[in-house]
A and B are shown apart, each in its own frame.
Chain A
Amino acid sequence: MKTFNYHVAKDSKEASKLSSSNSAFLAGGMTSIPSLKLGLATYKDIIDIKHIKKLSGIKVSNKTVTIGATTKHAEVASSKEVQKAIPSLAKLAGGIGDAQVRNRGTVGGSIANNDPSACYPSACMALNAIIHTNERKIEASKFFKGMFETALKKGELIESVEFQIPEKSNYQKHPNPASRYAIVGVYLAKHKKEVNVAITGAKASVYVDKDISKALSNNFSISAINNMKINSSEMNSDIHASGEYRGSLVLTYTKKAIEAC
């Protein structure tokens, strides 16, 4: 592994000040450390943000659940407050990676990385999340830009993610049996005025399936999407699943999510 300088930031301001065009923030490190080891990424400076107290914790109000960027998956999964307000979000967090990954990995890290098969981006999209950074607020729909790409600028630090509490919701994942990443993951959220069906794992980046969401907004039942055709031409195809198979999983897992709601 290439060498780097490790820094511990006291607050967001210091973290931002330490950052450069050749630096990365370190939270749980569940993706960044393996990437560094594999030589997929190299940095001059690594800025540890775990000691910034303000970035960790869970706040639940009547309408939203706000999770600090460095809050670990295990904390979200076991939070009684999250389990009550948005049970599907706690379930999603409890299904990421494995127990040890959940003891280190964080929500901020997951969405900043925007892995095409990560679970959290789908929750952000379905739950109309607002991503709070040290500079601004970004709507989830404008945050995820493409494969491993987000709207974050260099030195911009995610501080928290604010999820809108839906009327009903469910997350269904077809996991890769080794990594537990989603081959396809479907996050279904029924809000007062609309239904959002966000899909991860299927394409280069998370997206909301507009046709399925519209059909379910009009009629929240399996029959509304039974005969729907899924266009799989832009879907990922690899040794685990072909694009066509992923397309089929999107519909199957959406139905499972409706049933579980």
Chain B
Amino acid sequence: MQKINLEVNGKKISKEVPDHTILSNFLRDHLNLTGTHVGCDTSQCGACVIHVDGKSIKSCSTLAVDVNNSKITTIEGLAKNGEMHPMQEAFKKMHGLQCGFCTPGMVMSAVDLLKNKKNPTDQEIRKWLEGNICRCTGYQNIVAAVKEAASKL
């Protein structure tokens, strides 16, 4: 067991976890933050993407102990005072989701993209989202949503 201290969505957290706890499971099972989804569980699909110290990573391929002393943002941490994040608004407005399973990861990846690049081209959006797989809408509206958010942010 290891004691880890984290800041998750602005809240300081201190927990004892078994050494081999996977971060996505820690968020879902220990903190009840089930917005982070686990799809393929082999770091291909991107449903589990969260931010660690401001950078998007796949939480299904990271140990919880490995992010000790980090700041974590999950999909639950994006909305502020009941207002959706502009990326969430844009996904809603542009119909960038259907079943919604991949959406938390898509949104978290896309937020990181706009931090690195303010007005990405379609091609840059598609390249950045290579690690996020959607199996229902196709990607047209997801790309449109990211562009919409870019114009608002």
Known: A1-B20, A5-B19, A37-B22. A178 touches B44 (CB 8 A): yes
Is A33 an interface residue, CB under 8 A from the partner? Answer: yes
Q: Is the CB of B46 within 8 A of A100?
A: yes
Chain A residues lying within 8 Å of B19, measured Cβ to Cβ, are 3-6, 46
Known: A6-B19, A37-B41, A178-B44. A30 touches B61 (CB 8 A): yes
Q: Is the CB of B130 within 8 A of A3?
A: no
Known: A3-B18, A30-B43, A46-B19. A100 touches B66 (CB 8 A): no
Known: A30-B43, A34-B42. A99 touches B113 (CB 8 A): yes
Chain B residues lying within 8 Å of A4, measured Cβ to Cβ, are 19-20
Is A90 an interface residue, CB under 8 A from the partner? Answer: no
Is B134 an interface residue, CB under 8 A from the partner? Answer: no
- Contact with B130, one of A2, A5, A48, A180 (Cβ below 8 angstroms): A180
Chain A residues lying within 8 Å of B132, measured Cβ to Cβ, are 98
Size bracket, chain A contacts: 20 to 34
Shortest B149–chain A CB gap in Å is 17
Closest A residue to B18 by beta carbon equals A3
Is A97 an interface residue, CB under 8 A from the partner? Answer: yes
Is A26 an interface residue, CB under 8 A from the partner? Answer: yes
Chain A residues lying within 8 Å of B137, measured Cβ to Cβ, are none
Interface string of B38-55 (1 = CB under 8 A from A): 000111101001000001
Chain A residues lying within 8 Å of B55, measured Cβ to Cβ, are 74, 103
State A98–B42 Cα separation when bound (angstroms): 13
Known: A4-B20, A30-B43. A104 touches B130 (CB 8 A): no
Shortest B50–chain A CB gap in Å is 9
Chain B residues lying within 8 Å of A1, measured Cβ to Cβ, are 20, 22
Shortest B80–chain A CB gap in Å is 24
Is A146 an interface residue, CB under 8 A from the partner? Answer: no
Chain B residues lying within 8 Å of A104, measured Cβ to Cβ, are 57-58, 61-62
- Contact with B66, one of A2, A5, A26, A101 (Cβ below 8 angstroms): A26
Closest B residue to A175 by beta carbon equals B130
- Contact with A99, one of B18, B41, B42, B109 (Cβ below 8 angstroms): B109
Interface string of B50-74 (1 = CB under 8 A from A): 0000011110011101100000000
- Contact with B57, one of A2, A34, A38, A103 (Cβ below 8 angstroms): A103
Is B121 an interface residue, CB under 8 A from the partner? Answer: no
Q: Is the CB of A98 within 8 A of B46?
A: yes
- Contact with A179, one of B18, B44, B49, B62 (Cβ below 8 angstroms): B44
Closest A residue to B2 by beta carbon equals A6
Known: A30-B61, A33-B62, A180-B130. A99 touches B22 (CB 8 A): no
State A101–B58 Cα separation when bound (angstroms): 7
Chain A residues lying within 8 Å of B65, measured Cβ to Cβ, are 6
Q: What 6 A-B pairs have minimum CB-CB distances, sorted nearest first?
A: A98-B131, A6-B19, A98-B130, A33-B61, A100-B58, A103-B55
Can you report 20 residue pairs joining A to B where beta carbons are below 8 Å apart? A3-B19, A6-B2, A6-B19, A6-B20, A26-B63, A30-B61, A37-B61, A46-B63, A48-B66, A50-B66, A97-B131, A98-B131, A99-B113, A100-B43, A100-B49, A100-B56, A100-B58, A104-B57, A104-B62, A179-B44
